[in-house]
Amino acid sequence: MRSNLSRLALVCVALLACKEPDPATQVMVVIDAEPGVRERITDVELSIKSGEGDVSAWSSRFEANITPGGGPVPWPLEIALVPGNGEVQRSYVVVARARGESGGVLAEVRAISGYVAGRSLSLPLVFDAACLERTSLCDPSFTCRAGGCVDPFIPPSELLPFEPGVRPGERESGAGGSAGTRGGSSGAGGAGGPASDASVEPGLDASTGCIGTAEVCMPGARVECGEECEGCPEGFVRLPGGACAPLLVGMTLSRGEPAPALNAVDTHYRIELPLLAETLTFALAVAEGVEVEARGNRVSAASEGVGFTVRNVPLGESTVQLTLRPTGSHNGHESRTYELTFGRSGQQRSYLKASNTGAGDTFGHAVATEGDTIVVGAPLEDSSTADLAARDNQRQNSGAAYVFQREAASYREIAYLKASPIEERGEFGTAVAIDHDTIAIGAPGEGAGGSVYLYRRTMGGGWTLEQRVAPARAHQGRRFGAALALRGDVLAVGAPADDTFALDGGAVYVFRRSGGSWGEGTVVGSENVAPAVWIGSGVALDDTRMFAGATGESSDVYPRGAVYAYALSGGAYVETQKIYEQEVGPLDFFGDSVAIDGDTLVVGAFGASGSAAGNGLLYVYRQGTEGFALEQVIGASNPSEDAHLGVRVVLRGDLIITGAPDEDSGARGVNGDISVAGRTDSGAGYVFVRDGTRWSQLALIKSMEPGAGDRYGFSVAANDDTIVFGAPGESSGATGVDGDTLDATAQGSGAVYVIR
């Protein structure tokens, strides 16, 4: 007899026979948990009922906490079920509940089976990580396996031989499967079924379309034994009460994944969405003769092969119900409703610092992102070498750029880029851009008026210098490379102090790549430009158009700003419109940032005064038959003096992302409490969303540890699911990824924050 009370062979589970279990008559229940899950479980509760017929009417035979003394659970737990009074024909339901430190139920597993006289058998139950992550327990008619809810019944003939001293996860698959293997048997639907391919997960089996029994069928599906599916029609599921209802056969989302994975049992799913997922598109698959309704409106039928779209998904949690309704030949079957809960909140996911953090480097002055890559400029970094091992501070303000690659949920610095040759005050990294396998980095203080460096991604994932470009005619102080736009094989470079058309009139240089080489740049400006207009302060490109901000444009003696629009014609950019607003005031810097997407143009004016002097404004234009016309002027929900909203701007469909680097509130995270005591010039990011023709603020975003002078939001970039904000004034002395944000030993070193 075992001496460990927690293993309960001593207790005999009180099934009428309290004596040393006879291996010829006992059934051993083996309860285990995956490595990593065991540590999260503080105790296990066991409940056993027995009877015949309807399970709900079975009588309780045993209930107890089986981990006495508050110590760690001694895995695996082995419990002997011993029939008394010859009741070998009875069946038993065994339920095990795992509890955590808080006392709440983390997960629940169950199995229903009976005896086979004269054999020693094992009935394994396993807690796995996916079951602990569920937001709700399975219905009592099912058990959890690999995060899904499946049939708990196990035919007695499929029980495993019990081997004393051998953990369930160590049993050979030839003995009937492993309780420790996630997936178990797609045929049995519960623990301890016959062995199957390790890639098969419980839930909806992609290869057979069946789960648990032949009662859940898919078109053309077969069960384990090779028989045709029987019971409910193809694409239907048999409910616990015996009725048939339509099954959601497939669900593909434009963003996120359902949790748990789609299966034949669960009707409640949760979908976590990134902050930028304002629109979510579904592609659904159901059987023929089934129509789908969302929010009471018919949205698809199987023969149509279409889905539906949820627009303007709100922040926080929201729910959509899908009702699958049988029609035609399937009339008489029950409808089935699925509930989809969306969680869209946005969080700070990563905190990036340079690998060679230095005071005053302004890491984060410029940022760009595409896919899993982030490029960061630090124009005041001082190293005289590209060798990180030999870094120094011998080239003041020479500048640097850093490339980070996403790996799982975090990032890793994969490249440290410097100009060649490295020049003092070259300000390499003032502007950065990325498109597919090309990175452009501006160095407007370098050489005879500035340079731009172009890098290509190597086969190994690194970055190598492809070419350095500069205007053919030298001109000191033109600030060539102060603004960049890169699209495919076209590069637009702003040179706001260029003298080609007028003294400091400014210009944009356009380079095209052919055969792996960037040709000589074509200069684009305006023949009628006045001195000190500064065309090229901001630059934006699409396939056929280019836009150049000119912050010095004026209708009187004061610079107010304008944007020059160009269209591609015969291989050259031709000026089509000068966009400006009469109410734009002196030193509003209208045009310092521009962004284009489709028929929408956004222009930032970071010095503009709306509800507060210098709070900054965004001007949104829509293209019509006569050019771009003003649609709306947007300001922050918390305007403050000299916040400078709009210093950089990104436009993606119906979303505008911008920053206000001199915003002063002490709020934290996404939509934090702005009434918290202020942090002067800590900075903030903003997301605005369009509904129809009106824009409204969706989110105010701050660092989780805002600091005075951080200037969070001075630079901004975004891709499909990620926002990147630069804070060039941040002062932590940390290096690398996710270091100490409170270090404060390197004033003005700069940081970058990743939001999803």
Give the per-residue pLDDT at 18: 36
Number of helices (H), then strands (E), belonging to the chain: the values are 1, 50
* Shared-domain flag, residues 276 and 154: no
279 and 170 within one domain: no
Same domain, 152 and 291: no
Residues 165 and 62 in one domain: yes
Quickly state the pLDDT bin for 5 (edges 50, 70, 90).
very low
663/726 Cα distance (integer angstroms) = 14
**Any domain includes 625:** no
Inside any domain, residue 228: yes
Classify the phi-psi angles of 409: left when phi > 0, otherwise alpha if psi is within -120 to 50, otherwise beta.
alpha
On whether residue 73 sits in a domain, the answer given is yes
pLDDT digits over 336-351, tens only? 999 999 999 889 999 9
Residues in the chain: 756
* Predicted pLDDT at 94: 87
Distance separating alpha carbons of residues 202 and 191, to the nearest angstrom = 10
Predicted confidence (pLDDT) per residue in 614-668, tens digit: 999 999 999 999 999 999 999 999 998 999 999 999 999 999 999 999 999 999 9
For residues 212 and 264, membership in a common domain is answered with yes
Alpha-carbon gap, residue 36 to 577, rounded angstroms: 63
| Alpha-carbon separation of residue 748 from 360, 492, 755 (angstroms) | 4, 30, 22
User: Measured on CA atoms in the order 131, 132, 137, 143, is the torsion positive or negative?
Assistant: positive
d(CA 748, CA 380): 10
Q: Mean per-residue pLDDT for 428-455?
A: 96
The answer on 208 and 88 residing in a single domain is: no
- Average pLDDT value over all residues in the chain: 82
How many angstroms separate the CA atoms of 658 and 680, rounded? 19
Render 497-537 in DSSP notation, one character per residue: T--SSSTTTBEEEEEEEETTEE-PPEEE--TTPPTT--EEE
In a domain, 72, yes or no: yes
Q: What is the 3-state secondary structure (H, E, C) of 29-65?
A: EEEEECCCCHHHCCEEEEEEEEECCCHHHCEEEEEEE
Do 152 and 288 lie in one domain? The reply is no
Residue 84: per-residue pLDDT: 58
- Give per-residue pLDDT as tens, 679-717: 899 999 999 999 888 999 999 999 999 999 999 999 999
CB 537 within 8 A of CB 549: yes
Q: Between 141 and 558, where is the model more confident?
A: 558
pLDDT of residue 707: 95
Q: In whole angstroms, give the CA distance from residue 181 to residue 146.
A: 10
Q: How far apart are CA 661 and CA 678, in angstroms?
A: 14
CA–CA separation, 396 vs 557, rounded Å?
A: 36
Q: What is the pLDDT, as a whole number, of residue 302? A: 46
pLDDT over 80 (residue 104): no
Query: Does residue 368 sit within a domain?
Result: no
- pLDDT number for residue 388: 87
Identity of the residue numbered 299: V
114 part of a folded domain: yes
Give me the pLDDT at residue 107, please. 83
Q: Which pLDDT value is given to residue 459? A: 87
Residue 702 inside a domain? The answer is no
Q: Which residue has the higher pLDDT, 437 or 325?
A: 437
pLDDT band at 25 (very low <50, low <70, confident <90, very high): low
Q: What is the pLDDT of residue 121?
A: 61
| Residue 373, H or E segment | strand 373-378
Q: Of the candidates 153, 174, 202, which is a domain's last residue?
A: 202
Range of the domain at 269: 204-345
Give the tens place of pLDDT for each residue, 552-571: 998 777 899 999 999 999 88
| CATH number reported for the structural domain that contains residue 243 in this entry | 2.60.40
pLDDT for 402 beyond 70:
yes
For the stretch 245-264, pLDDT in tens is 888 888 888 888 888 888 87
pLDDT in tens, 462-519: 999 999 999 988 788 899 999 999 999 999 999 999 999 999 999 999 999 998 899 9
Task: Say whether both 340 and 212 belong to one domain.
Answer: yes
Question: Residue written as tokens 């010039």?
Answer: 681
Domain count, the chain: 2
How far apart, in Å, are the Cα atoms of 751 and each of 163, 352, 480?
58, 6, 25
Q: How many CA atoms lie within 13 A of 548 on its CB side?
A: 31
Q: Please give the pLDDT value at position 608.
A: 94
> Exposure of 148 by Cβ count < 10 A (0-12 exposed, 13-18 middle, 19+ buried)?
buried
Q: Hey, how many other C-beta atoms are within 10 angstroms of the C-beta on 519? A: 12
Question: Pairing between strand 105-114 and 431-435?
Answer: unpaired
User: Which DSSP string do the residues of 273-321 spell out, in sequence order?
Assistant: E-TT--EEEEEEE--TTEEEEETTEEEEEGGGT--EEEESPPSEEEEEE
Q: What is the CATH number of the domain that holds 31?
A: 2.60.40.1120
- Least confident range from 186-195, 482-491, 720-729: namely 186-195
Residue 108, SS3 per DSSP = strand
Q: What are phi and psi of 106, to 5 degrees?
A: -85, -40
Q: What is the pLDDT of residue 22?
A: 55
Instruction: Please indicate, yes or no, whether residues 123 and 215 belong to a single structural domain of this protein.
Output: no
Q: What is the pLDDT of residue 82?
A: 66
- Position 31: which residue type? I
Q: What is the pLDDT averaged over residues 219-224?
A: 36
Residue 561 lies in a domain: no
- Do 77 and 187 belong together in one domain? yes
- CA dist 198 to 173, 178, 180, 195, 202, Å? 10, 10, 11, 9, 11
Is a pLDDT exceeding 60 seen at residue 12? no
Burial 228-250, CB ≥16 within 10 A → b, else e: ebeebbbbbbbbeeeebbbbbbe
- In which band, very low, low, confident or very high, does the pLDDT at 597 lie, cut at 50, 70 and 90? very high
Looking at 181, 202, 223, the residue that finishes a domain is 202
Percent of the chain with pLDDT over 70: 81
Q: 193 and 212: one domain?
A: no
Interatomic CA distance for residues 96 and 112, integer angstroms: 12
Average pLDDT, stretch 669-678? Answer: 88
- Tens-digit pLDDT profile for residues 279-319: 888 888 888 888 888 877 887 654 455 578 888 888 889 99
Tell me the pairing of strands 723-727 and 590-597. Answer: unpaired
Instruction: Give every CB contact of residue 206 below 8 A, 6+ residues apart in sequence.
Output: none
Task: Reply yes or no on whether the pLDDT at 142 is more than 50.
Answer: yes
- Please tell me whether residues 182 and 224 are part of one structural domain: no
Give the residue among 382, 199, 478 at the shortest CA–CA distance from 749. Answer: 382
Looking at mean pLDDT, say which of 172-176, 239-243, 547-551 comes out highest: 547-551
- Final residue before a domain boundary, out of 202, 236, 260: 202
Contact 32, 73 (CB under 8 A): no
pLDDT tier for residue 66 given thresholds of 50, 70 and 90: low
